[in-house]
Structure 1
Amino acid sequence: MAPSPITTVADLRAALDTPAPLRLLDIRWHLSGPQGRPEYDAGHIPGAVFVDLETVFSGQSGGGRHPLPDAETLQAGLRAAGVSAEVPVICYDSGDTLAAARAWWVLRWAGLTNVTVLDGGWAAWLAAGGPVSTDEPRVEASDLVVRTGAMPLVDADGAVHAELLMDVRAHNRYTGEVEPFDRVGGHIPGAVNVPGGDDFDESGRFLAADQLANRYADAGVDADREVVVSCGSGITAARTILAIEAAGLPVPTPALYAGSYSDWSSDPSRPIATGPQS
């Protein structure tokens, strides 16, 4: 089984107590604001470097509300943060794992392999009594070379023709009852709803690997089926791909529909389904 992409608070504290190099990235971000830099300035895990999801891990053009960054912009942002291919990277956010998982997926897509996410993020760190710093570390820029394409990715055509298209938004957005962001509510015809929020326990930590494995096996994830994951704008979907890797299922990494429903619904010629599974 491949190493888990999840790091616990205990694992991180142990890693910080050793001289081994580590790059810790603070990706705190909120979809509806405020953004994470003021939170970082007010206190962060010692040694962490703040990296902005909107300007480094998202692009300015392309399908959907959070298109992927171009390689040049991503490379510049990661070099400035001191990220290199030789040093393990741990990402954390406020605690819902959305921004950290997006960073994890983009880093993996960019060719880095030793990347993990702190389970429970900043909230878990504080709950465990972890030390807090307001000092911004001095970072030596790296010479990282970004080569995108290391994670499977599909466009709208690839999503609609997938053997299993999972829409991992909340159920009321999938059915079209609620749509706070996109022009029309509903889902891509044929998509099945597997809400990503159900991957967590009451403390905000990921379910145990065997529970995640059972959940996604029941959803139809297996080695013989092409799986594509979609959400609103490609962020929650990245978290689901992280969860499936954490589950340890012997399956290929699911593909991300990066534009997701925000891209699909932006074209009035595309069909929209509403209500329960179509």
Structure 2
Amino acid sequence: MAASVEALAARVESIEDLETDLLLEGVFRRFGHDFRGYRRAALQRKLHVLMQRLGVQTVSALQERVMHEEGAADSLLRELSARSAGLLDDPGYLHALRAALVPLLRSCASPRIWIAECLSAEDACALSVLLADEDLLEKTQIFATAENESLLQEASSGRFAINHLEEYAESYRKSGGKSDLRGYCREEDGQAVFSDTLRSNITWAQYSLATNASFNEFQLIICRQALADFGTMLRRRALQLFYDSMPLFGILSVDADGGLDAAHLTSRYKAIAPEQGLYRREV
């Protein structure tokens, strides 16, 4: 009996794997969003959350909804793409980033920063605040990219939940902030909004780490949280892309376990603050 149960479970898992393959291929061919290289276990957990919310029992049923029901595709893309804001929740990281980044940017005439898979106003504007603190805002350009255009547009509005403002202000203070974060924001329609000045140096653009090529050279590249969802091949591709988009002594910011070993890039970087996922390109 135990063997039969195990065989049935394996068969169900195999069917769901096939259904997931078909769903991801359909999403790529119809909507242009490529999740085929994502880590399967993490992706299927997100699918199950959405299936429960929509009241469907199988991935095939979810695919039927996504392909034919208005709004279902957007729900799927949001579920697979969404990540929480990170920079203003982590004062230790911001403190380490400030110490490593500021001397580098001061030595550059027109520095550029790339935040890959940036889906929150907080992450892009936290960097603008740091730059404003150090009198580097005017000369530095930030490129915030993500594959999901809808979430990207929402982030570009500069809005965030006003109930987070006090928490963010305290995190900013602990990170070495030189002013009051609340001075960089205003209240509008019940939300907090980062100032127009902070957002003036940010270019928001749709971009896929799975399919697009390098588009510039950057003194700092940040990709936090997203890499954890990527499968081995997609993670290697993204890390190689970042390496190719960075000059000597440029800074890479990834998760603490960013997968540099898997991408055979460890020897090309020097760890600045490995516990914070900060590395400097040395070769």
Q: Same fold (TM over 0.5)?
A: no
| Structure with the larger helix share | 2
| Structure with the larger strand share | 2
Which structure: larger Rg?
Answer: 2
TM value normalised by structure 2: 0.27
Higher relative contact order (CA 8 A, sep 6+): 1
